[in-house]
């Protein structure tokens, strides 16, 4: 599989995102909500990079997904595992691995607003060209990529390849023969 973003590319991207988030935070309490499962290890590295800015940081997770194999099903399912927060106290940043049609993030933003979140922003590692179906744009984006199905650094194909340390393009032979 072809490497699209190396470990050192990812390190630079994460440092840049952390600096941008820290610059905008203005000392308010940040609640990072990672979307499972793909946000790992991006969220871990982002938190480590943010730690050097000494921000009041809280971490939580929510499961959300719409993909079956390499296709968006168009229907987003959202879990209910978030703790109860006094939402107005927090500047919420939803963290996801990749923005494709945009349905997942836009549904999760709407979901958190319904729970009472007031300040909600979004941060994605990657944004895919060409398939956006919503008006909405992520506030922070690590890198724009072509319309490839990618794996590694938390991204999977049918639960495989999340462990890869870099981002690779899944070739067709993989999705035809992968177990």
Residues of the shown chain interacting with ligand XMP in the complex, contacts defined by CB under 6 A: 35, 38, 65-67, 72, 96-104, 128, 149-151, 155-156
Which residue reads 């006094």 in tokens?
86
- Which C-beta is closer to ligand XMP: that of 1 or that of 22? 1
Q: Smallest gap, in angstroms, from Cβ of residue 62 to ligand XMP? A: 11
- What is the rounded end-to-end Cα distance, in angstroms, of the chain? 16
In 3D, which of 101, 96, 88, 174 has the Cα closest to residue 136? Answer: 101
The one catalytic residue among 89, 100, 139, 156: 100
DSSP symbol at 139: S
Query: Please, what sign has the CA dihedral across residues 26, 97, 64, 49?
Result: negative
- Which C-beta is closer to ligand XMP: that of 118 or that of 129? 129
Q: 33 to each of 84, 85, 120, how far by Cα in Å?
A: 13, 12, 10
Q: Smallest gap, in angstroms, from Cβ of residue 58 to ligand XMP? A: 22
Has 100 been annotated as catalytic? yes
- Which C-beta is closer to ligand XMP: that of 22 or that of 44? 44
Q: Smallest gap, in angstroms, from Cβ of residue 133 to ligand XMP? A: 7
- Which active-site residues does the annotation give? 100
């Amino acid at each position: 599989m072809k490497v699209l973003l190396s470990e050192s590319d990812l390190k630079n991207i994460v440092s840049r995102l952390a600096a941008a988030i820290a610059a905008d935070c203005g000392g308010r309490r940040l609640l990072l909500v990672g979307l499972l499962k793909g946000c790992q290890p991006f969220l871990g590295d982002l938190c480590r990079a943010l730690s050097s800015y000494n921000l009041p940081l809280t971490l939580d997770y929510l499961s959300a997904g719409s993909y079956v194999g390499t296709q968006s099903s168009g229907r987003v399912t959202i879990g209910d595992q978030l703790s109860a927060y006094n939402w107005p106290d927090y500047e919420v940043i939803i963290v996801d691995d990749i923005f494709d049609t945009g349905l997942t993030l836009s549904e999760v933003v709407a979901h958190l607003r319904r729970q009472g979140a007031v300040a909600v922003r979004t941060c994605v590692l990657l944004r895919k060209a060409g398939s956006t179906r919503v008006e909405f744009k992520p506030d922070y984006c690590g890198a724009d990529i072509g319309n490839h199905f990618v794996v590694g650094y938390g991204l999977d194909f049918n639960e495989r390849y999340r462990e890869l340390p870099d981002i690779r393009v899944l070739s067709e032979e993989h999705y035809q023969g992968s177990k």
